[in-house]
Structure 1
Amino acid sequence: MAGAADDSLRDEAELIPLSALQHYVVCPRQVALIHTEQQWEESAETADGRIQHARVDQPASRRRDVVRRATGLTVRSFALGVIGRADVVEFHRRKGAADTVFPVEHKRGRPKRHDGDRVQLCAQALCLEEMLGVTVAAGALFYGQQRRRIDVAFDDALRERTRQVAAEVRELLASGRTPQPVPCPACPKCSLKPRCRPDQLGAGGGRVAAYLRRRLAADAGESEA
Structure 2
Amino acid sequence: MMPAEDLDAEYPEDDWLSLSGIQHFSFCKRQWALIHVEQLWDENYLTAAGHIEHQRVDDYSESELRGDVLSIRGMRVFSRHLGITGICDVVEFHRSSRGISIQGREGLWEVFPIEYKHGTAKTIDADRLQLCAEAMCLEEMMVCSIPEAALFYHKTRRREVVELDDSLRDTVRADFQQMHQLLSRGSTPSAKPSKACDACSLRNLCLPELMNKKSVSNYIEMRLHEFVTDD
Tell me which interval the TM-score lies in, with the shorter structure as reference length.
0.7 to 0.9
**In structure 1, distance between residues paired with 2:202 and 2:191:** 11
Where does 1:101-120 land on structure 2 (aligned, <5 Å)? Answer: 101-120=111-130
Where does 1:46-61 land on structure 2 (aligned, <5 Å)? Answer: 46-60=47-61, 61=63
**In structure 2, distance between residues paired with 1:95 and 1:130:** 20
> SS state of the match for residue 202, structure 1?
helix
**In structure 2, distance between residues paired with 1:6 and 1:35:** 24
Deviations 1:82-138 (A, max 9, x none): 111111100001147431100000000111121111110000010000000000111
More deviation, 8-17/144-153: 8-17
TM-score, normalised with respect to structure 1: 0.87
Other-structure match for 2:2: 3
**In structure 2, distance between residues paired with 1:141 and 1:177:** 31
Other-structure match for 1:40: 41
How many residue pairs are counted as aligned between the two chains? 211
The code of the aligned residue for 2:94 comes to H
Other-structure match for 1:161: 171
**In structure 1, distance between residues paired with 2:70 and 2:189:** 43
> SS state of the match for residue 74, structure 1?
strand
**In structure 1, distance between residues paired with 2:171 and 2:15:** 21
Other-structure match for 1:184: 194
Could you list the runs of 4 or more consecutive aligned residues of structure 1 that deviate by over 4 angstroms after TM superposition? 208-212
1:88 aligns with 2:96: no
**In structure 1, distance between residues paired with 2:217 and 2:131:** 38
1:203 aligns with 2:209: no
> Mind listing any 5+ residue stretches in structure 2 that lack a counterpart?
101-108, 222-231
* Cα 1:20/1:97, change in 2 over 3 Å: closer
Q: Is the 8 A contact 1:183 1:198 kept in 2?
A: yes
Deviations 1:47-97 (A, max 9, x none): 111001112222243110000001111111011111111111000011474
Deviations 1:11-30 (A, max 9, x none): 32211111111111110010
Which of 71, 74, 97 lines up with 1:72 in the alignment? 74
The code of the aligned residue for 1:12 comes to E
* Cα 1:170/1:96, change in 2 over 3 Å: closer
Q: Is the 8 A contact 1:19 1:120 kept in 2?
A: yes
* Cα 1:129/1:208, change in 2 over 3 Å: farther
More deviation, 128-137/165-174: 165-174
Q: Kindly report the root-mean-square deviation, in angstroms, between the aligned alpha carbons of the 2 structures.
A: 2.0
Other-structure match for 2:105: none
The code of the aligned residue for 1:73 comes to M
TM-score, normalised with respect to structure 2: 0.85
Other-structure match for 1:26: 27
* Cα 1:10/1:207, change in 2 over 3 Å: closer
* Cα 1:31/1:97, change in 2 over 3 Å: closer
**In structure 1, distance between residues paired with 2:216 and 2:123:** 33
1:123 aligns with 2:133: yes
Deviations 1:148-195 (A, max 9, x none): 000001111111111111111111212101111111232111111011
**In structure 2, distance between residues paired with 1:177 and 1:97:** 43
More deviation, 91-100/126-135: 91-100
Other-structure match for 2:64: 62
The code of the aligned residue for 1:94 comes to S
